[in-house]
Amino acid sequence: MTSGAELKARLARAVFGSSARPSEDMTAAFALEGGTLALAAVEKTRRPDGSRSAALLLTRRVLSSQPAADAAAVREFLAACPKAAASPQARRLPPESMRWVVVLARRHAVIRLLELPSVDVDELKAMARLQALPGLPFQEEEIVSDVVVLDADVQAGRSKVLFALVRKSALASYLELFERLGRWPDGFVLDTMGAAEFMRRKKDPAPADFLQLGLEEGCLNVDAYAGGQLRASRSIPCGHGAAEPARIVAECRRTLTSAPTDGPVAAPKFLFVAGRAPGDAQAFGAELEKEFGAAVEFLSDRSADPPQASPAVVGAAYAGAESSLMLLPDEVLEKRSRHETRRAVAGAAVWLGVWLALLAGIGGGRLLAASLRLSALDAQLKRLQPDAGKAPGVFEQEDILRGHAEAGTAPLDILRELHRSAPSGVTLRSVSRASDGNVMIQGSAPNLGQVMAFVNGLQKSSLFSWVELHDSSRRAAQNVESVDFQVQGGLKGAARTGGVAFRRRRT
C-alpha cells in the first residue's frame, strides 16, 4: 500500500518534470470513461530556496451516469477545491487565478498534471506526450485518449475551456457535456468535420468560414469551407522551387473564389496540418499574410521523445476574430491521404470520360475515341489482375466499352468492387451504369446459391446503397447447367427508382 508521503513524492516527480515552471498554482484533473468519474486536485508551490513541492489536496470518485449529472459533479468538485486549499501554505498562493487541467482519459487514467498559465507551443508539445500519473489508484499504463483544458478564475467565479482534443467517435458525448457545463473551448483540436460540428453545436458567432491547407507527402490539399460545409476542394502537387509559395497561395485564392452556390469563403481561417514540418512553412505564411492579411502562427512539436504515435506538426494562420486549433493524429492523416488518392483517381476517370464523350461526338474523332477507350480499359484490367486469384470474375471488353459510352465515364470504382465481390465461378458479362447512378450487372453462375452469395456481398459493400436480384433463368449447354442473372443496384447517394432503361445483352 502506498503511503501518503510516497504518494506526494510520486506526485511531485510527475508534476514537476523537465517541463515544470517556476509559478505557483493549483491544478485539478478528472478522468471520465467506463462508468466512473475520477477527480483529483493538487497544490503546487515553490519554496523560498527555489525547490518545488506538491500536495494531493482532494480526490473523489463517483459513478458516471448522464452528462447533466457528470457536469454537476465537476462543478461541485471545482467549488470544493478552494476550500481544500485553505491551508497556511495554500493561502500564500498568488491571488490572480487558478488553472485547472481537465482530462478525459481512457479507463479512469489520471495523467500527469501540468501547469498551464496560457496555451502556447510548449503546452501543446507537453500535451502530445502526456503520461499516466504514478501513485494514484488508477491504471497508470492506460493511454490518454482525450484532453480538455479549462482555465478557471476561482475568485471571480469564472471558468473558460481553452481547447479540447477528443476522439471523433466520442465527439457527441463531449459536446453534450460542454453544453451542460456551459463552458465551450475557444479552440477545438479535431479533424475538419468534427470541428464543423463543434462550431454548429456551439452556435459560435464567429463565421464558420475557413480554408484548410493540408501538407501531406509532397501534396497540398486545399479545402474551402463556408457555413461549416465543404464548398470547394483541390489537391496541388508541391515542389521546392523559390516561386512555390506564391503559386500555392494563388491556388488557394482560386479555391476560395470557386466555392459554388454560396459564393466565395469570407474571412477564412487558415489551418496548416502536416505529418512532418514543411521546410518552406514560413514562406507559405509570409505569402498568406501578404495575400490575405492574415496573422500567421506556426506550432511545432520539438519534443525529444522517441518517435511514437504523437500528434502531427501543425501550423496555423488565423484571419478570423477567434483563434481555433486543429490537430490531426498521424493515422488520421494517413486515412486522409488514402481518401485524397481515391478522389484523384475518380477525378481522372471523370475527365477521361468527358474527353472520350467529346471525341466520340466528332465524326473524324470516332476512331481515336475508340482507341483511347481500349487503352483505358486495358489499364483498368491490368490493375484488376493482381486480385484475380481472389475473385476470378471475367469482364468482356465489348460490354465494358458499352458501359463507358452509356455512363459517360470509366466506371473503374464499380469494376473494382464487382471484381472483389464476385465469388469463384461467377462470370460477369456486362456492367451498365445509368445517369441517375443505378447499375445493371449481367452474368452467369453454376447455381443460384452463388448468385445470391454475389448479391449478398454487394449489399455489404461500401459502394452500393441497395442491391437486388432483378432476373434469373436456367440454361443448359453441352450437358452443363448454369444460371443467367441480372442484378440491379444503386450507388451511394443515388435515388432508388422503379426501373432504369438498360440495354439487354443479346445472346
CATH number at residue 241: 3.30.420.40
Task: Indicate whether 484 and 401 sit together in one domain.
Answer: yes
Q: Which three cell numbers stand for residue 81?
A: 477545491
CATH number at residue 362: 3.30.1360.100
State the pLDDT at residue 484.
85
Task: Indicate whether 147 and 11 sit together in one domain.
Answer: yes
State the pLDDT at residue 365.
52
Residue 217 in any domain: the answer is: yes
Residue 330 in any domain: the answer is: no
Residue spans of the chain under pLDDT 70: 1-68, 70-71, 74-75, 77-230, 232, 236-245, 248, 252-253, 255-286, 288-289, 291-345, 347, 354-421, 433-437, 476-480, 493-507
State the pLDDT at residue 106.
29
Q: Each residue of 453-470: pLDDT tens digit?
A: 888 888 777 777 788 887
The residue among 295, 322, 349 that closes a domain is 322
CB 259, CB 277: distance < 8 Å = no
Residue 328 in any domain: the answer is: no
Around Cβ 298, how many Cβ atoms within 10 Å? 17
**Nearest-angstrom CA–CA distance, 83 and 85:** 5
Residue 418 in any domain: the answer is: yes
- Could you list the residue range(s) of the whole structural domain that residue 305 is in? 206-322
**Nearest-angstrom CA–CA distance, 459 and 452:** 10
Task: Indicate whether 122 and 37 sit together in one domain.
Answer: yes
**Nearest-angstrom CA–CA distance, 75 and 62:** 13
**Nearest-angstrom CA–CA distance, 396 and 376:** 14
- Shortest CA distance to 185 belongs to which of 82, 99, 73, 195? 195
Longest dimension (CA), the chain: 100
Q: Each residue of 119-177: pLDDT tens digit?
A: 333 333 333 333 333 333 333 223 334 444 444 444 444 444 444 444 445 556 556 65
Residue 506 in any domain: the answer is: no
State the pLDDT at residue 450.
82
- Count of domains in the chain? 3
Around Cβ 190, how many Cβ atoms within 10 Å? 26
The residue among 256, 288, 322 that closes a domain is 322
Q: Which residues pair with 481 in a beta bridge?
A: 476
Task: Indicate whether 365 and 398 sit together in one domain.
Answer: yes
- Shortest CA distance to 175 belongs to which of 212, 152, 204? 204
Residue 199 in any domain: the answer is: no
CA 238 distance to own-chain centroid = 22
Residue/partner pairs of 413-419 with CB below 8 Å, 24 or more apart: 413/346, 413/349, 413/463, 414/439, 414/463, 414/491, 415/380, 415/384, 416/383, 416/384, 417/458, 417/461, 417/463, 417/464, 418/393, 418/458, 419/384, 419/387, 419/391, 419/393, 419/395
Q: DSSP string spanning 368-435? A: HHHHHHHHHHHHHHHHHGGGTTT------HHHHHHHHHHHSS--HHHHHHHHHHPPTT-EEEEEEE-T
Task: Indicate whether 65 and 156 sit together in one domain.
Answer: yes
**Which residues have C-beta within 8 Å of that of residue 100, sequence separation ≥ 6?**
26, 27, 28, 29, 78, 81, 150, 151, 152, 159
What is the number of H-type helices and E-type strands within the chain? Answer: 13, 17
Residue 192 in any domain: the answer is: no
Residue listed under C-alpha cell 498568488:
94
**C-alpha radius of gyration, the chain, whole number:** 30
**Nearest-angstrom CA–CA distance, 333 and 188:** 17
Task: Indicate whether 119 and 156 sit together in one domain.
Answer: yes
- Shortest CA distance to 25 belongs to which of 43, 38, 11, 51? 43
Task: Indicate whether 402 and 253 sit together in one domain.
Answer: no
Task: Indicate whether 363 and 316 sit together in one domain.
Answer: no
Beta-carbon-side half-sphere exposure of residue 385 (alpha carbons within 13 Å): 7
**What's phi and psi for 75, nearest 5 deg?**
-60, -40
Q: Which three cell numbers stand for residue 275?
A: 505529418
The pTM assigned to this predicted structure is 0.26
State the pLDDT at residue 191.
40
Task: Indicate whether 274 and 342 sit together in one domain.
Answer: no
The residue among 322, 355, 373 that closes a domain is 322
Q: DSSP string spanning 284-303? A: HHHHHHHHH--EEEEE----
Task: Indicate whether 158 and 29 sit together in one domain.
Answer: yes
Task: Indicate whether 144 and 253 sit together in one domain.
Answer: no
**Nearest-angstrom CA–CA distance, 482 and 465:** 28
State the pLDDT at residue 64.
62
Around Cβ 47, how many Cβ atoms within 10 Å? 9
Around Cβ 169, how many Cβ atoms within 10 Å? 9
CA 373 distance to own-chain centroid = 36
Task: Indicate whether 318 and 342 sit together in one domain.
Answer: no
Provide the b/e sequence for 208-244 (b: ≥16 CB within 10 Å).
bbbbbbbbbeeebbbbbbbebeebbbebbebeeeeeb
Q: Return left, alpha or beta for 332; rule: phi > 0 is left, psi -120 to 50 is alpha, else beta.
A: alpha
**Nearest-angstrom CA–CA distance, 392 and 397:** 15
Residue 196 in any domain: the answer is: no
